[in-house]
Structure 1
């Protein structure tokens, strides 16, 4: 939060010998505080390297005191004229280092939440869920449907009954084995979670 400003050349000249504030007869304490603030070096450099950082910091309290004194005396010198070329000093905010334990805990929680989200999303991916029961009856229905579909569809290829039944049995066996394989893998995965 800003609490001071970088004094511009106009304020420095006004406070110097023969400057605009000379006839205003500033109180000794206020003049001393202003001179001390303008003479102080901040930012680690001499006055020639003003680009490296702020050189002369004047607190807002001192500026208010100067303004009050000028108003009490009825001065024609205005504060905004004295502050011409001055800038508000905003100190760089230094972030405190993060606690490594907190960072590790946050990462652990993120991973846990991601795993829970993944499980929630993939919960209904397999249609063979043994908890709902009826998987064997579904297997029988699917094999029977494959047999009937192949038997009826093969009448356009084969004219005799034996090849049609044989083709239907082969397709039904393949479908049954595939479904059985998927069902066993699903059960194996559920048993692994326990």
Structure 2
């Protein structure tokens, strides 16, 4: 936090005039502090307390210049911030907390990862599940084909009592097989939707 001004040439000139003035009634302590400021080598600094005393003196005596005019080319001296050393116990505690949070985050991210799923060969339970799934698909397709073919032959054989022409019998058998196939597909799709919709 700033506590001093780094004064410029204008301040130096005006204060020299004030100090050299023979009828100046500067208090002794203020005079000594101002002289000490002017005699410094390098950057000349003026404390806030001395600046307040000088301002009060100028106001009381009615001098033709004011403090803000004196400090017009001055600047605040901001000391370099020195960071205090960190408490080793606090640092160790923070490291433990960071490690714990990182571990919790890792566990949250990987909680649904199964190490057996990463194995290329898979487990016997997974292989059995895949075989059952493939078996169910093969049985369903085989059942669909048998039903459509049976509907075709049944219609073809039964239409001989209605039609004498072979082409009419084939057309009626294809229509009947198509209707049965579409009905079978509808039932199959509804069954699949029911299985997929279950939680």
TM-score, normalising length from structure 2? Answer: 0.56
Which residue in the other structure is 1:71 paired with?
Answer: 59
Aligned residues: 134
What residue ranges of structure 2 are gaps of 5+ in the alignment? 117-123, 144-199
Residue in structure 1 matched with residue 195 of structure 2 by the alignment:
none
Stretches of structure 1 that go unaligned for 5 or more consecutive residues are: 41-45, 48-54, 129-135, 156-194
- String of CA shifts for 1:67-120, please: whole Å, max 9, x gaps: 111101111111122112111111011012233443333223212210111102
Give the aligned CA root-mean-square deviation in angstroms.
3.2
Contact 1:6 1:58 survives alignment (8 Å): yes
Query: Could you say which residue in structure 2 is the equivalent of 1:8?
Result: 8
SS in 2 for 1:30: helix
Assess if the C-alpha contact under 8 Å between 1:7 and 1:38 holds in 2. no
**Larger helix proportion of the pair:** 2
Residue aligning to 2:183:
none
Q: 2:74 is matched with which residue?
A: 86
Q: 1:111 — aligned with what?
A: 99
Whether the 8 Å contact between 2:5 and 2:76 is mirrored in structure 1 is: yes
Larger of the two Rg values belongs to structure: 2
Residues 162-181 of structure 1 aligned to structure 2 (within 5 Å): none
Shift of the 80–152 alpha-carbon distance from structure 1 to 2, 3 Å rule, reads same
Deviations 1:10-57 (A, max 9, x none): 1122222xx1454443212111112223434xxxxx53xxxxxxx222
